[in-house]
Amino acid sequence: MNVGAAELLLGGVVLVGASVQWLTGMGFALVAVPALVLLLGPAPGVALANCAAGAICAVGLAGGGWRQVRLNAMIPLVAASACTVPAGTWVAAHLPEPVLLAVMGGLVTVAVLLVMGGTRVPALSGVKGALTAGAAGGFMNSSAGVGGPPVSLYALNAGWAVREFVPNAQFYGIVVNAFSIAANGVPRLESGVWALAVAGMAAGAVIGRALAERVPERGARLLVLLIALGGGLSTLVKGVWEL
């Protein structure tokens, strides 16, 4: 198979995204989606991110984290996301590409800034907060590939520790990405691109686990958010420039 620079870059993006996901328990979509959207276009970029993020969450949860999933807390989140995933898919399919790029970049940028600021939102407390966060996450995941930040904000308002958040976020990631794949479909990519994406996920898992023993969690999460912020701003600028 012939592998071009764009395909190699895509594999590198997936590798970096997978590494930070294993390193910090979050961040694949925030880091990878802006670059995947710029490389493949909005629809296939988001669809590939849904597939990769869902797979990474499934592997992470299968390692034993499933025992720590709070089903009572997660049911409202995933139920609400199931209701809004179709709306996100519909919006993404009907917006012109420059507008969609601008919207995606804006969503990623705002989400990162809210998470970085540790924003506490009273409306994200209790069952109503779970429903709100789940609905926002489902819409954002199917339209822009980034459904995690609303759940992060919900966990922050609920006072969850990192060790509680990670397995529950992985569970949510599996379910919301399954919904999103059902709505958006699997991207039609060449076999070589799929092979590079899978290789990137595998290599990223190895690198992320190795770094997790050496890199302080707080510094790693800040780095992830800064990378995501840069990607979100780049996508936003590209979309606005092409309007």
Q: Is the pLDDT of residue 1 over 60?
A: no
Provide the pLDDT for residue 123.
66
Residues 6+ apart with CB under 8 A from 141: 29, 50, 81, 85, 88, 147, 148, 176, 177, 179, 180
Mean pLDDT comparison of 37-46, 84-93, 101-110, 234-243, highest-scoring range: 84-93
pLDDT digit string (tens) for 36-66? 888 888 888 889 999 998 998 888 888 767 7
How does residue 177 score in pLDDT terms, banded at 50, 70 and 90? very high
Q: Is the pLDDT of residue 11 over 50?
A: yes
Provide the pLDDT for residue 118.
67
**Tokens of residue 78, six digits:** 């995933």
**Tokens of residue 185, six digits:** 């479909």
Q: Is the pLDDT of residue 180 over 80?
A: yes
d(C-alpha 16, C-alpha 11), whole Å: 9
Structural contact between residues 172 and 166, judged by C-beta atoms closer than 8 angstroms = no
Report the sign of the C-alpha dihedral through residues 45, 47, 50, 53, in that order. negative
Which has more pLDDT, 77 or 238?
77
